[in-house]
Structure 1
Amino acid sequence: MKFAVLLAKYFYTKKHLALPGIGVLHLDAAVTVPDFSDKNFREVLKYIQFTQKNIAKADDELIDFIRTQTGKIRPLAESDLESYLADGKLLLNIGKPFTIEGIGSLQKMKSGDLIFTPGEPTIEKLDFHTEDKTPDKSVRHIPGYDESQSRHTVHNNQRRVLLVGTLVVIGLIVILWGGYSLYNKADNQPAQVSSEVNTPITNPDSTTIRQPDSNITEQPAVAATPPGTYKFIFEKTDRKARALRRFAFVHDLSPRIQMETSDSLNFTIFVRLSAMSTDTGRLKDSLNAWYYGTKPVKVMIEP
């Protein structure tokens, strides 16, 4: 179910929908909302009213509704709503209509005021009155408004870019992991012991020189320093929504990536890797290229 349709389902059930940063949609409590397939449903649309308000926070009831309908945890439900509204406000700011399927569309005027135009509900799963009712396929419901063609084009382009980016990231992970594995394999090979060892000899003038010691042909190899575990920090942020979105994306690509917070206000996305101290710089550059692309190095290292 599309997120906009989910909002329409909530609106026609509660007759009230507060959108943070945009305003409030409301329907008179005396209005009876029929089934969406009812021919009289269009009559309900003219009773929808919009009030432009500076809403700071979404209603808890709306977040709980999204959570129960999608099966997601509360922070992800909040993040989905924030992302949807951010896209809508972006469309409004560039002069495009922000369409909420099943309810109507908003348009921003030059004065900054938002104008609401009711729209006919789409057929896509607005069956909130009778869950088991099968709609008549012979009846075609045509929406009273169409979304901007440019919005569809941008959306499709974003999908293609995301797919290509995901494939590139997966390829980088495979290459980095293969190189790292080969490096660890090479480090585990036994060190070659020189057949000739130089020992310091002090002459009478207290000048230190080195010369071959003919009595010592071989000494046992000194054990190599074992690799340590380093914490490579991709990002620290106090923006909860961004932290959740970024973590969900990179964690799907590599489950080894973790996120932590000590106060629910500041979030850290990181990964722990075993490495030699001399190779932490190389790994940091590779991880930065994977996470940030061509941007300057932002990845940090903690023991």
Structure 2
Amino acid sequence: MKLDNLITQYLYHQKRVSLPGIGTFTTDGPTVKFDNKYDATLSDDLIEFVKTHTGKMYSLALSDLESYIMLNKQFLNIGKALYVEGIGTLVKTKDGSFEFTPGEMVPERMEDLTAESRKPSAFIDETRYHPENNSRQKWFIALLGILTLVIIVWGGWRLFLNNNGEPEAGKKELAPVIDTAMVPVTDTLKLMADSMPKLNDTIKSPDYTANPGIATAQNSQWRFVIEQTTNKNRALRRYNQLKEIGDKIQLSTTDSITFKLYFQLPSMVSDTTRIKDSLRRFYGSKKVSVEQ
């Protein structure tokens, strides 16, 4: 049902309807009268009436009424006449007020009035209430949803191919990265033993023969502690594993609570930092400390 017909029906039932910004219509039965005075806001009863007969929420019914009034007021301001079937016609005069000409009251119920029997109004927003346009809008929304779903599926398929497919031509395949934190300790040590030189080959004793004034390797021994733990079983297990691959690892404890795994290596003071970094990377230690 169109909004102007609902306003007419409401006027017949309640005998009064006020449109803010336009005026107030009243009826005593056979005729309709108009007064330029109007209420500041729309009546809650009118909003509920529209809500009930359109099936819309209260906020939407209010929005429809406000849009209807605003549109008709704009047309009235530019000199157009407002015709509301069953009520009459409004035109704006030179002094800014509205002049009303009563129309024929409609005796039938508004639900029985067909579109063909109603006189068209220049102020009715046909596109807003036309069922065909609503149906077209639903089809558009459905099509948009299907298109969005297709794009999501296609994107997921492409991502799957990129993650699981063979390397594309022209791209170098990266060497696999070994995460020592996820590989058992024994396997880690074997991998390091196969892929890297022995510690004794990596860390060589400095040549002190060129400068006799520098301290010899024998009196510059340092303890490089690669692991310190209170877990005795772990300390023994790690010690045995390193021994298996030929490293000169040593184990010590002073209180039978704290166990240290370390290498006894000759070094100058200036070289201890470099050796610490080499040991930390080689054995995957979180921290390497130095003791003399």
TM-score range, shorter chain: 0.3 to 0.5
Larger Rg: 2
Q: Looking at secondary structure, tell me which structure has more helix per residue.
A: 2
Q: What TM-score results when the alignment is normalised by the length of structure 2?
A: 0.46
Q: What TM-score results when the alignment is normalised by the length of structure 1?
A: 0.45
